[in-house]
């Protein structure tokens, strides 16, 4: 949730650190800080607030060519100058930035306090800084190892020692750390977004690894006190700095919504096979016999990735006639799930770093489950844990609100359903129908986006609303859930998703002229049921916004958000798009900070 940047090299560190933090601000943004060595002490500049506030505090050139920096999303201790990272040990000779949560921090704090250590912050991180500083080990690397052996929890850390200020020590356990390899300079970050301006050559640390990073070399090893070397070679990331720029867009959410036709094109490229009316998913290392042996499919993810999983479950059941469902990874991991040998488990994650999804994947592997990953970020923890699967190719998603990643996830799951269907009973004709439908998606998404102005007008009409229902049936149900989620997270307007069929079993009591309902109305076998629901709502003076590709009776809905026709199985993918625009424009009308919704961060790498 927070962002880490480190630098060692030949240039002044501070501008590189601040620019890196700026790139990571989407991951955490309630405070920011940096530390560099200067004249035998650390110069620490930190502040509550945005990276720009940190920038404003840097009034002069800082000569140091090594330093560490952090942007924070508070977990332990409120956002404040004192709680901002970096944290120093009691001697002031060790500086530390940390992502993750130290679970035994209270115990460590009590022990350290009893030993006379005075704490300067309320954070869990500071305890680790003191442990490192108090270690009697001869080198920073060994001090860090020794201190971490007393820590329970998750961390990605970067440590700098005033007594040895030519290198950084970094370590990872459950929170991402990546090294960037430059010409006589090295970068460290929690996300490649902070590195791509400087280098495309990166090394991902795995959990349980430590690295000593100097300007011209790095050494990786296991974290254990009795460590052993780990050989790691750099990989090339195909991201460039423009991927993280706004270009002409007002914010990243708008940019990413409008990137969807291109992003979808990338997800589909080379993966549709007209001749055999199927999908070609090279990352799934299973032959037809193995695919046929799958008796059940279970999708696991959090938030929007979970809702995309619900869409996927519906698609797999329809196309392959295999029982399929989706479950929040955050629940699955804690309920000691029964893992079946002939079930295919699919972990879904844009970031590839969501801790709950990663933990679910690890639990599945430990129990011998068959596991695939459907992930956007190449090299991420979940992608590596799963080993095989489907990359989304959505490009970097910066906005907290997921849009293009959700669309590419649902589309990838449609291709998985097609593949599973075609090794079973899905006919060639139906396979061809789905292939053609998938091919039409990018153009149809562009068609929806071209109506943005009309959606914005509808959103403006409902901007005074304090609460809304989002309802849908079967294919429309995950669409309604995703629509409500999008509205909640960026506009702070209460939105409740319900199965349309369940309205009359209770929630209908809430309908009156202050409670509008967004209803998903595909022109499918459930059309008349959905028209009936609209009539029930209208009879109670509720306003109705219909997202539809059907010809509804004149005046039935108070507003319509139109969607082009495709194959009904693929409807959820298209019906989600107007709801992104609806949430976006309603939030914009309310003056919300769209890319930085309150209390939320882009990837949830803590519990
Ligand atoms: C989406 O708009 C949300 N910000 C959030 O629900 C997100 O989808 C969820 O945290 C999962 O993230 P992931 O896909 O990176 O694992």
Residue 351 Cα: closest atom of ligand 1:
15
Three-class SS state of 590: coil
Q: Find all residues with CB under 8 Å of 486, minimum gap 6, and list them.
A: 304, 401, 403, 579, 580, 583, 584
Residue 600 Cα: closest atom of ligand 1:
4
E strands along 167-313, which residues?
Answer: 168-173, 178-181, 186-189, 201-204, 209-213, 218-222, 229-230, 235-236, 272-273, 278-279, 296-301
Three-class SS state of 80: coil
Backbone angles phi, psi at 312, to 5 degrees: -65, -40
**Residue 383 and residue 357: Cα distance in Å, rounded?**
11
How many CB atoms lie under 10 A from the CB of residue 208?
A: 15
**Residue 574 and residue 238: Cα distance in Å, rounded?**
28
DSSP output for 210-265 = EEEE-SS-EEEEESSSS--EE----EE----GGGGS-TT-SSHHHHHHHTHHHHHH
pLDDT score of 600: 77
Atom 9 (ligand 1) nearest CA:
303
Is 493's C-beta closer than 6 angstroms to any atom of ligand 1?
no
**Residue 22 and residue 358: Cα distance in Å, rounded?**
27
Burial of residue 22 (CB within 10 Å: 0-12, 13-18, 19+) is buried
Question: Where does 25-94 have alpha helices with state H?
Answer: 51-57
Backbone angles phi, psi at 522, to 5 degrees: -75, 155
Q: Find all residues with CB under 8 Å of 567, minimum gap 6, and list them.
A: 433, 434, 436, 437
Identify the segments of the chain with pLDDT beneath 70.
1, 26-28, 75-76, 606
Nearest to 202 by CA among 182, 179, 184: 179
Three-class SS state of 161: strand
492 neighbors 522 (Cβ within 8 angstroms): no
pLDDT score of 220: 97
Residue 409 Cα: closest atom of ligand 1:
14
How many CB atoms lie under 10 A from the CB of residue 450?
A: 9
* 46 classed as catalytic: no
Distance 302 CA to ligand 1 centre (A): 6
Is 351's C-beta closer than 6 angstroms to any atom of ligand 1?
yes
368 neighbors 341 (Cβ within 8 angstroms): yes
**Residue 258 and residue 543: Cα distance in Å, rounded?**
29
Nearest to 129 by CA among 138, 118, 220: 118
**Residue in 604, 606, 607 to alter for ligand 1 test, most ligand atoms within 8 A of Cβ:** 604
* 386 classed as catalytic: no
Distance 327 CA to ligand 1 centre (A): 14
Residue 357 Cα: closest atom of ligand 1:
16
pLDDT score of 606: 65
Kindly name the residue from 143, 404, 486, 602 that is annotated as catalytic. 602
pLDDT score of 27: 65
Distance 53 CA to ligand 1 centre (A): 28
Give me the torsion for CA of 77, 82, 86, 89, rounded to 10°: -100
**Residue 393 and residue 432: Cα distance in Å, rounded?**
24
Atom 10 (ligand 1) nearest CA:
303
**Residue 442 and residue 77: Cα distance in Å, rounded?**
45
């Amino acid at each position: 949730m927070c962002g880490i940047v480190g630098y060692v090299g030949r240039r002044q560190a501070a501008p590189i650190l601040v620019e890196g933090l700026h790139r990571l601000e989407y991951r955490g943004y309630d405070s920011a800080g940096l530390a560099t060595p200067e004249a035998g002490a650390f110069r620490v500049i930190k502040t509550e607030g945005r990276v720009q506030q940190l920038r404003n505090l840097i009034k002069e050139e800082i000569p140091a060519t090594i330093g560490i920096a952090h942007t924070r999303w508070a977990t332990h201790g409120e956002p404040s100058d004192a709680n901002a990272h970096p944290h120093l040990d009691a001697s002031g000779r060790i500086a530390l930035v940390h992502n993750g949560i130290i679970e035994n921090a209270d115990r460590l704090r009590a022990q350290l306090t009893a030993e006379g250590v005075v704490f300067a912050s309320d954070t869990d991180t500071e305890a680790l800084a003191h442990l490192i500083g108090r270690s009697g080990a001869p080198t920073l690397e060994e001090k860090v190892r020794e201190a971490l052996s007393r820590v329970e929890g998750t961390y990605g850390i970067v440590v700098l020692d005033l007594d040895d200020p030519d290198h950084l020590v970094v370590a990872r356990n459950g929170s991402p750390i990546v090294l960037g390899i430059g010409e006589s300079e090295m970068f460290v970050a929690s996300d490649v977004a902070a590195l791509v301006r400087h280098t495309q050559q990166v090394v991902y640390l795995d959990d349980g690894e430590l690295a000593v990073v100097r300007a011209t070399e790095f050494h990786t090893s296991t974290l254990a006190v009795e460590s052993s070397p780990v050989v790691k070679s750099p990989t090339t990331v195909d991201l460039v700095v423009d991927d993280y720029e706004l270009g002409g867009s007002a914010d990243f959410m708008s940019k990413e919504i409008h990137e969807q036709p291109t992003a979808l094109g990338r997800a589909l490229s080379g993966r549709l096979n007209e001749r055999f009316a199927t999908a070609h998913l090279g990352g799934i290392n299973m032959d037809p016999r193995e695919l046929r042996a799958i008796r059940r499919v279970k999708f696991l993810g959090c938030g929007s990735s979970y809702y995309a999983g619900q869409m996927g479950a519906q698609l797999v059941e329809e196309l392959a006639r295999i029982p399929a469902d989706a479950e929040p990874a955050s629940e699955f991991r804690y309920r000691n799930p029964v893992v079946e040998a002939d079930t295919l488990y699919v972990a879904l994650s844009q970031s590839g770093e969501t801790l709950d999804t990663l933990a679910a994947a690890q639990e599945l592997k430990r129990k011998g489950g068959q596991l695939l990953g459907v992930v956007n970020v190449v090299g991420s923890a979940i992608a590596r844990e799963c080993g095989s699967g489907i990359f989304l190719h959505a490009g970097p998603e910066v906005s907290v609100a997921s849009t293009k990643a959700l669309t590419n996830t649902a589309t990838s799951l449609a291709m998985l359903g097609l593949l599973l269907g075609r090794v079973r009973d899905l006919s060639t004709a139906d396979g061809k129908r789905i292939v053609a439908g998938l091919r039409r998606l990018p153009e149809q998404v562009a068609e929806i986006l071209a109506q943005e102005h009309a959606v914005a007008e509808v959103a403006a009409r409902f901007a005074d609303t304090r609460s809304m229902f989002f309802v849908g049936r079967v294919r429309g149900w995950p669409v309604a859930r995703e629509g409500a989620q999008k509205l909640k997270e960026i506009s702070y307007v209460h939105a409740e998703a319900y199965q349309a069929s369940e309205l009359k079993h209770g929630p209908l009591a809430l309908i009156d002229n202050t409670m509008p309902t967004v209803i998903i109305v595909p022109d499918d076998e459930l059309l008349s049921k959905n028209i009936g629901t609209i009539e029930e709502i209208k009879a109670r003076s509720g306003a109705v916004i219909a997202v539809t590709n059907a010809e509804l009776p004149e005046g039935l809905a108070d507003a319509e958000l139109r969607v082009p026709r495709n194959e009904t199985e693929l409807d959820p993918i298209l019906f989600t798009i107007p709801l992104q625009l609806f949430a976006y424009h309603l939030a914009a009308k309310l003056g919300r900070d769209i890319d930085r919704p309150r209390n939320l961060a882009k990837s949830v790498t803590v519990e």
